[in-house]
Amino acid sequence: MSRRRTLSTKKKIALLVSAASVAGGGAFVMASTSNAAPPKTAAESSVCQGLATALGNNEKFIEGQKANPDAQSQARIANREAVIEQIKVQQEASGCVVGESAQGSQAAAPAAPPAEDQGQEQGQGQGQDQGQGQEQGQGQDQAAQPEAPAQPGSGEQVCNGSTVTLSGEGGAPAASSNVLPIGTKVKVTNLDNNKSTTVEVTSVSGSCTLLNNAAFEQVREPGKFLIRRAVIEKVG
């Protein structure tokens, strides 16, 4: 007669514990996946709004080139399409909706900065209380003078009320515009940190003034891709 092999009680318990552990781990993974934060829109984050505006400005430029093509249009379009792809990479890295587009100052403004954005800005030395104290110490109370830079320039102000964002293009500091002709010197002042840059308009864009990556880095606030309060001056 053959003998049936039976599992001992200890072995049965061990197998049950292992199975429970595997099941529990799978449940944990599923729960973690389901609780992942959804991408933020331009209306929820100033970072996402800046990137959406940059993408929209490039799309607007491409539309203009297609509507009125010239001998260089295909090269310009190819360049801007590459820029758009890079902006999408930045959107994904920043937790934004990839491909979301907004045109210039028409982009929807966030009703209130998300807590995550505030925490990021405070961690980078941009806390609201600290920033307000610094401005008061420097005699630059924005509440008293919301639209005036600390050291007004002598140039002709243009595009009043326009926001400024990046074009996404590389190279030496430069600007592009659909208002100012190529060769114009333009000074952009960020009223939120009183930083300025003076650059030359080197190409046409779909907005009043766009700064390329290098120029935007000179005046931006950490973690932001949009300058809401800017003075744009034609200086040469």
Given a contact cutoff of 8 angstroms between Cβ atoms, the answer to whether 234 and 186 are in contact is: yes
Percent of the chain clearing pLDDT 70 (strictly above): 63
84 is a domain residue = yes
CB-based contacts of 155, cutoff 8 Å, min separation 6: 187, 233, 234, 235, 236
Residue 219's CB is within 10 A of a number of other CB atoms, namely: 20
CB-based contacts of 90, cutoff 8 Å, min separation 6: 51, 225
Strands 164-166 and 210-211 turn out to be parallel
Residue 206: predicted pLDDT: 77
Residue 185: predicted pLDDT: 95
HSE, CB side, 13 Å, CA atoms: give it for residue 10. 0
CB-based contacts of 227, cutoff 8 Å, min separation 6: 163, 164, 165, 188, 190, 192, 219, 220
Averaged pLDDT score across all residues of the chain: 74
Residue 217: predicted pLDDT: 94
CA R_g for the chain: 26
35 is a domain residue = no
Given a contact cutoff of 8 angstroms between Cβ atoms, the answer to whether 156 and 180 are in contact is: no
Token pair of 156 as six digits? 């002709």
167 is a domain residue = yes
Total domains present in the chain: 1
Sort residue 161 into left (φ over 0), alpha (ψ -120 to 50) or beta: left
| Confidence band for 61, pLDDT divided at 50, 70 and 90 | confident
135 is a domain residue = no
Per-residue exposure over 46-83, b if at least 16 CB sit within 10 Å of its own CB, e if not: bbbbbbbbbbbbbbbbbebbeeeeeeeeeebbebbeeb
91 is a domain residue = yes
Residue 125: predicted pLDDT: 41
121 is a domain residue = no
- Whether residue 113 is predicted with pLDDT greater than 90 in this model: the reply is no
- Domain encompassing residue 223: 46-104+145-234
Q: What is the mean pLDDT of residues 191-197?
A: 95
| Confidence band for 230, pLDDT divided at 50, 70 and 90 | very high
- DSSP letters spanning 51-87: HHHHHHHHHHHHHHHHHS--TTHHHHHHHHHHHHHHH
Residue 129: predicted pLDDT: 43
Q: What is the mean pLDDT of residues 129-150?
A: 40
User: In whole angstroms, what is the distance from residue 162 CA to residue 153 CA?
Assistant: 17
User: In whole angstroms, what is the distance from residue 92 CA to residue 195 CA?
Assistant: 28
Given a contact cutoff of 8 angstroms between Cβ atoms, the answer to whether 138 and 220 are in contact is: no
Q: What is the mean pLDDT of residues 149-169?
A: 76
- Whether residue 39 is predicted with pLDDT greater than 80 in this model: the reply is yes
Q: Pick from 18-22, 25-29, 110-114 the range whose average pLDDT is largest.
A: 18-22
Q: What is the mean pLDDT of residues 82-94?
A: 87
84 phi and psi, to 5 degrees? -60, -40
